[in-house]
Amino acid sequence: MLGFVSMLMDISSEMIHALLPVYLVTVLGTSTLTVGFIEGIAEATASITKIFSGALSDWLGKRKVLAALGYGLAALTKPLFPLAPSAGWLVAARFIDRVGKGIRGAPRDALIADIAPAGLRGASFGLRQSLDTIGAFVGPLLAILLMWWTADNFTAVFWVAVLPAFLSFALITFAVSEPEPEARQEATGNPLNTQAMRQLGAVYWRIVAVGTVFTLARFSEAFLILRAQSIGLNAMWVPAVLVLMNIVYALSAYPAGVLSDRINRTGLLALGLVFLAGADLALALLPSLAGLALGVVLWGLHMGLTQGLFAALVADSAPPSLRGTAFGYFNLLTGITMLAASIIAGALWDNFGPAVTFLAGLGFALASLVGLLAIGNGITQAANAAEKP
């Protein structure tokens, strides 16, 4: 059910986000740096909010009510996109939408960790990620069809996107339940104090360090859309970039999660970074439809091999009573890094062009790979500890 909730919200969000960068640049006349700043601020906002909602879910011993609140807020902001008269309104709508994402993210992931058996955490997070990502390619696909049907009417597409958002909120409200409080250990005191930070343990903080450096290497997918536009892809077909990426992502996330329950997770993370480096190389040096397709496929593979796996590792390493807080810290730090990465990417694009932007991403990916291999033993320790009774 949580997977289908995510799928419906992603259909709504990606119908809008697949067109928003092009709408900002071509219709409202903003710069690429502005797009990078907006995307970075949006994702950082979501991540900063997650630390508080995650900790609150630990303190209350309740996950669902906060997750439902976040989905409801995101649904309520969707009508602002077609109604916005200027870039400022779109920034505000994007900001509030990401606050909703931030409120729901950590409690939802902690709820999955509460429900999933320890030996199936990789598969559980991979399944939710796959369903979520199905929405992430259905949304852009619908955007393409509606752009064709409405003769590039951005506003009409944004209105259609409102419906699945409200269906998502209805589903989590009426079809999702959570374990009784006694079914999991409850936190005591303030989960954001220094004692709780120490309780999370060294292995957890190593995982956070890897995730933070990794995020610096993967800036917003808005730059994939802008790369498609820069090689001459028609506005109607630009969302196909996200369709292709998310099909690959959806097909790889669940198998990667299942595999991570059986083999060393460090190896899968390293393979994901290799795919990211390959994607950056193709997008930088092959400015053609074939090069774009190759880069987007490799980008999708790296997402499938890493995103659910990081969530499983956080669940492995964190005490049950602090899982919401653990997801909150992880998302806070990676979100701040996403802001920095997107702003850097936008500045490089405006000043030096797309090739330099993706070559910089290649450099960060290789640096992340070196860091991952250096502390891989700690990550392996987390996965092994999760299987102990």
Which CATH number fits the domain that encloses residue 318? 1.20.1250.20
Chain centroid to CA 317: how far?
A: 20
Q: How far apart are CA 39 and CA 338, in angstroms?
A: 9
Nearest by Cα to 191 from 60, 99, 38, 298: 60
Confidence band for 300, pLDDT divided at 50, 70 and 90: very high
What is the per-residue pLDDT across 41-57, written as a single tens digit (0 to 9) for each? 776 677 677 778 877 88
Answer whether residue 100 is part of any domain: yes
| DSSP H or E segment with residue 290 | helix 289-317
pLDDT at 246 over 50: yes
Answer whether residue 356 is part of any domain: yes
Answer whether residue 182 is part of any domain: no
What is the pTM assigned to this prediction?
Answer: 0.71
Among 21-30, 166-175, 374-383, the minimum mean pLDDT is found in: 374-383
Place of tokens 């995020």: 215
In the structure, how many helices (H) and strands (E) does the chain have? 18, 0
Question: Mean pLDDT across the stretch 11-18?
Answer: 86
| DSSP H or E segment with residue 100 | helix 87-115
Which residue did the predictor score with more confidence, 359 or 60? 359
Chain centroid to CA 228: how far?
A: 21
**Confidence at residue 187, expressed as pLDDT on a 0 to 100 scale:** 45
**Confidence at residue 17, expressed as pLDDT on a 0 to 100 scale:** 80
Q: How many domains does the chain have?
A: 1
Among 16-25, 165-174, 345-354, 362-371, the minimum mean pLDDT is found in: 16-25
Token code pair at residue 388: 């102990």
Nearest by Cα to 5 from 157, 169, 146: 169
Answer whether residue 200 is part of any domain: yes
Answer whether residue 183 is part of any domain: no
Confidence band for 188, pLDDT divided at 50, 70 and 90: very low
Pair 120, 136: CB distance under 8 Å: no
Give percent above pLDDT 70 in the chain.
Answer: 90
Nearest by Cα to 211 from 378, 49, 360: 378
pLDDT at 175 over 50: yes
pLDDT at 8 over 90: yes
Answer whether residue 374 is part of any domain: yes
Confidence band for 72, pLDDT divided at 50, 70 and 90: very high
Pair 18, 140: CB distance under 8 Å: yes
Nearest by Cα to 354 from 273, 275, 295: 295
Q: How far apart are CA 171 and CA 291, in angstroms?
A: 40
pLDDT at 185 over 50: no
What is the per-residue pLDDT across 250-263, written as a single tens digit (0 to 9) for each? 888 889 888 888 87
Q: How far apart are CA 15 and CA 158, in angstroms?
A: 7
Answer whether residue 179 is part of any domain: no
Answer whether residue 180 is part of any domain: no
Cα pseudo-dihedral 162, 96, 34, 158, rounded to 10: 10
Per DSSP, 218 falls in state S
> What is the average pLDDT value for the chain, to the nearest integer?
82
**Confidence at residue 184, expressed as pLDDT on a 0 to 100 scale:** 46
**Confidence at residue 380, expressed as pLDDT on a 0 to 100 scale:** 60
Confidence band for 381, pLDDT divided at 50, 70 and 90: low
| DSSP H or E segment with residue 189 | none
What is the per-residue pLDDT across 74-133, written as a single tens digit (0 to 9) for each? 999 899 888 877 777 877 888 888 888 888 888 888 888 888 887 788 888 888 888 888
| DSSP H or E segment with residue 341 | helix 323-352
Pair 114, 91: CB distance under 8 Å: no
Nearest by Cα to 98 from 210, 220, 217: 220
Domain housing 89: 2-174+192-386
Q: How far apart are CA 175 and CA 243, in angstroms?
A: 28
Q: How far apart are CA 17 and CA 140, in angstroms?
A: 8
**Confidence at residue 190, expressed as pLDDT on a 0 to 100 scale:** 60
- Residues sharing a CB contact under 8 Å with residue 159, sequence separation 6 or more, in sequence order: 79, 82
